[in-house]
Amino acid sequence: MASPIRILTAVPICDGHDSAINTINLEFIRHGIEVVYLGYHRSVGDIVRAAIQEDVRAIGISSYNGGHIEFFAKVIALLRKRGANDIKVFGGGGGTITHQDAAVMKRKGVDNIFFAGTSLAEMTDYVRKHYGKPRRKRPRAKSPEQELAHKLTEIENAYATVSRKRQTPNERIRHSSFVIRHSPRAERAQVIGFTGPGGAGKTTLIDELVLRFLNQNPQGRIAILSHDPSVIGEGALLGDRATMINSQNDRVFMRSMATRGQAGGLSPATQECLALLARSGFDYVIIETVGTGQEAMPFQKNGIVDRTVLVMNPDYGSRLQLQKIVMLDLADIVVVNKSDLQRARTAHTEIEQRLEQNRRDQRLIDTVAKRHRDAGVDELFKLISRENLVGRDPRARRARERRNT
């Protein structure tokens, strides 16, 4: 394989049993598999949409709530309808799925059902054996979304091939030069970068911003490029979709990427994937980094974003810690999320004093992303809206002109 095996795992709607699938996910990761975890209470449409956007090799469904014959069949039917026959389906359900049920499900197109007592090693070996071979000639994309997903995979595979063969930078550029030529007349999307430590609430905040965008722009489209860390020498758990609620929408294209050994919170292929997304007709592209530490400066190369948002929580430690966070010098907007916590007021004051030392036009906003209709999130959305970003920020205009050129 040019790249690690990518699969999507999910739990059907009306089923809240996730302990089994979480255990299986971790075992897959230990054996070098990248797992896009969609979470539980997911509909057929959510699962198929995510599988196509993520361009996974297979979907693994854990079903403990009954209705599995119909549910699995509907997933397969929708995949076929959308021209994604090359994405396979397997699953399990402890003692819920009987051998008779499994026989019916296999006739309907399910690759395999794992029963109670199946070892984790057997599951992992099956996935590696059946989904680890290079894809044969792929069916022609049936939609622009599917074509975009295929091209993003090509970019990631090209970088993986470069890494294995130790090719030169010029050879790498030849591998992926099609990205620059894609949709040359399309107006470039506004690109907003979100970074910050793990647990600060970046994903929840982005999901709330997406809701506001969808409500404000009935015909608009938005893309999200989300990153999670690769376990060194192993796979990755790409789990940001599991906490996305409002982003489960046909007008939202989301792609999860693993860092694959690169430090700094982004993937080696991020910049070219981002260039492709920015030219693909979206109004906004939001890029979220891995939870970063003090030294990370993920967005400072080649004008990769128009505006940078640093998301923090109030429990960062002492004032001395603030002096060591480099992104406080570089971010355009600093968000103190979880501002309903006890230490939030003190944190706001300390961060405000820290930003004043920079003598730059930086904004500080308090949010509670988990709270519906939060006024702070409303303020942030207005600040990063297209009109404010392009019309009032000279640096953003220069970045846009540079990327268009």
The tens place of each residue's pLDDT in the chain, 405 residues long, gives 458 999 999 999 988 888 899 999 999 999 999 999 999 999 999 999 999 999 999 999 999 988 999 999 999 999 999 999 999 999 998 889 999 999 999 999 999 999 999 999 999 999 999 999 888 778 789 999 999 999 999 999 998 866 555 544 444 434 443 333 344 445 789 999 999 998 899 999 999 999 999 999 999 999 999 999 998 668 999 999 999 999 999 999 999 999 988 877 899 999 999 999 999 999 999 999 998 766 567 786 557 789 999 999 999 888 888 888 888 998 999 999 999 999 999 999 999 999 999 999 999 999 999 998 999 999 999 999 865 554 444 444 455 455 444
Q: Token pair of 52, please? A: 């196509």
Ramachandran bin of 14, using left for φ above 0, alpha for ψ from -120 to 50, beta for the remaining angles: left
List, in order, residues 6 or more apart from 315 with CB less than 8 Å away. Answer: 341, 343, 347
Instruction: Name 272's Cβ contacts closer than 8 Å, sequence gap at least 6.
Output: 155, 176, 179
**H or E element: which one contains 276?**
helix 270-278
CATH class of 6-131: alpha beta
Centre a 10 Å sphere on the Cβ of residue 249 and count the other Cβ atoms it contains. 17
What CATH class has 185-404?
alpha beta
